[in-house]
Amino acid sequence: MMVIDDQKDLDLAETMTEIKQCARPGCTNPVEIIPGHRPRKYCGNGCKQLAYLQREDEKRLQAEAAAQQAQYERDVDALRQRYGLDSLSPKVLDGLLQLRSHYSVGLMYQVGEMLILAVKEAHRSYNEAVNALREEIMLVGEQLNFVAITGPQNQTLRGVQPYCDAIGRASLEELYAMRDSVHLARRARQHLAEVSAQLEAKYSNRHADLS
Ligand SMILES: [Zn+2]
């Protein structure tokens, strides 16, 4: 019984060996069978060499992918620590890291700060929002010596007392509008300062040329 079974196994093995294909991924050549020799894995030395290179390549690419993944995890950790846990979704963190790889670290942090600011503003309570807006309007107003701005009901506000009176009565929406107004005034003053700096540079150069 045993002998017959062994013979059957041998026959089966032989049949399988005959249709054996080259072991290199992508090669469909049959492997040459040499009777009395251990069946070879590859159709030839070229494929054997290529299979070795393929394995080395695969190992290298896998190591690179693992290193990239580890770097990514460190980067995400660093961003989370900078901006506080859970404050930014993975999608946002992903986007920030893409800004860094396509543009610069500086831009990534700049956008990150803006996002944090927007998130914080969105999560303020009504009273926090009102107080923060009042503070911001008075602060910017002071820097501009309480320049004329548009207040609630299209009132023109000029000077510290009208500013105080207006922010005391203004609703949240009116405070947002006042903040826009005071920042527009700040911008306008900045542009004027830039123009006079340009004029000064231009005419002081001209003066130098004449002398
Ligand atoms: Zn082959």
Q: What share of the chain is helix, strand, coil (3-state, %, to 5)?
A: 75, 5, 25
Does residue 107 share a domain with residue 134?
no
Does residue 113 share a domain with residue 18?
yes
Does residue 161 share a domain with residue 66?
no
Q: Tell me the C-alpha distance between 27 and 40, whole Å.
A: 14
The whole-number pLDDT of residue 2 equals: 45
Answer whether residue 71 is part of any domain: yes
Centroid of ligand 1 to alpha carbon of 35 (angstroms): 19
Answer whether residue 8 is part of any domain: no
Q: Mean of the per-residue pLDDT values for the chain? A: 86
Centroid of ligand 1 to alpha carbon of 61 (angstroms): 23
Centroid of ligand 1 to alpha carbon of 92 (angstroms): 47
Centroid of ligand 1 to alpha carbon of 119 (angstroms): 59
Centroid of ligand 1 to alpha carbon of 74 (angstroms): 42
Distances (CA, A) of 15 to 8, 18, 107: 11, 5, 66
Which among 73, 92, 120 is the end of a domain? 120
Answer whether residue 61 is part of any domain: yes
Q: Tell me the C-alpha distance between 158 and 165, whole Å.
A: 11
Centroid of ligand 1 to alpha carbon of 28 (angstroms): 7
Model confidence over 36-73: pLDDT tens digits?
A: 888 788 999 999 999 999 999 999 999 999 999 999 88
Centroid of ligand 1 to alpha carbon of 47 (angstroms): 5
Answer whether residue 4 is part of any domain: no
How many independent structural domains does the chain possess?
2
Centroid of ligand 1 to alpha carbon of 17 (angstroms): 15
Answer whether residue 202 is part of any domain: yes
Range of 99's domain?
14-120
Centroid of ligand 1 to alpha carbon of 34 (angstroms): 16
Does residue 116 share a domain with residue 19?
yes
Does residue 151 share a domain with residue 70?
no
**Across the chain, where does the E strand assignment appear?**
149-150, 156-157
Model confidence over 155-180: pLDDT tens digits?
A: 999 999 999 999 999 999 999 999 99
**Does the structure show a pLDDT above 80 at 14?**
no
Does residue 132 share a domain with residue 108?
no
Neighbours of 119 (CB within 10 A): 14
